[in-house]
Amino acid sequence: MSAMMGRAVLALFFLLVATDANASLKFEVLGGSSISVPSRLTLYQENQPKITMTAHYDTRPLTPAYYYAARLGWWDKDSAWELELIHHKIYLSNTTPEVQEFKVTFGYNLLLINRAWMFHGFVLRSGLGIVLAHAINTVRGQAFSLPADGVFSGQYALAGVGGQVSVSYPYYLTSRLFLNLETKFTAAYANIPIAQGVALTPNYAFHGLFGIGYSFW
């Protein structure tokens, strides 16, 4: 299913590009890390009192699965529509005797549709979309694993919504190949499944990324 979706997205972008001689198709891959702002974590579990805490998260960008972002954009002169995946990760660092483990590492994925603009050599963008989450947690001694009916063969849950604002600076090595330095802020709200319940998990994070891109036209 994911392969079919990928082919459909590529076909759509190629069709859009073919309709305008001034259009350009760009693909970018970036690595980096993020800093999550402390936020409220609320856990509801069947026949148990709710747990509310201020959550502090680590990113651990170089721990598999790695932190990254990938973006495909259709540029028309100085503006673009983009499809972006941010493979964001969160590890609860201030665990408690009740919340023994809480991490969303494969990850707290943001799948976004962006609008982007060139501005004096920089790229400004904003985006909105969904959160696809792969959760691993243990609450009150009960470990959670995703059921087989999740998104993409049970590996991910459609958990919430999110958005971003970002500023990047592309530096062209050739007429097509470029490096990219980027900073972004993301805000998202997700219902992360736990054993016999759910965790309300907002996340607000600052990101720093560096990567490479290619313009096909």
Length of the chain: 217
Residues 6+ apart with CB under 8 A from 149: none
CA distance 57 to 40: 11
Per-residue pLDDT averaged across 13-30, rounded? 74
94 vs 96: CA distance, rounded Å = 7
Range with the poorest average pLDDT among 18-32, 85-99, 111-125 = 18-32
Which of these ranges, 37-51, 108-122, 137-151, has the smallest mean pLDDT? 137-151
- Does the pLDDT of residue 105 top 90, yes or no? no
The answer, yes or no, to whether residue 15 has pLDDT greater than 90, is no
- 13-17, 24-28, 117-121, 195-199: range with lowest mean pLDDT: 13-17
Six-digit token string for 139:
């609450």
Residue 117 contacts by C-beta under 8 Å, 6 or more apart in sequence? 78, 79, 80, 123, 124, 125
Largest CA distance in the chain: 62
| pLDDT above 60: residue 182 | yes
Q: For residue 32, give the H/E element and its range.
A: strand 23-36
Place of tokens 């721990």: 63
pLDDT at 152: 54
At 145, which CATH number?
A: 2.40.160.20
Range of the structural domain that residue 172 is part of:
2-215
Element (H, E) at 211: strand 197-215
Give the Cα separation of 186 and 110 in Å (integer): 9
* Total domain count, the chain: 1
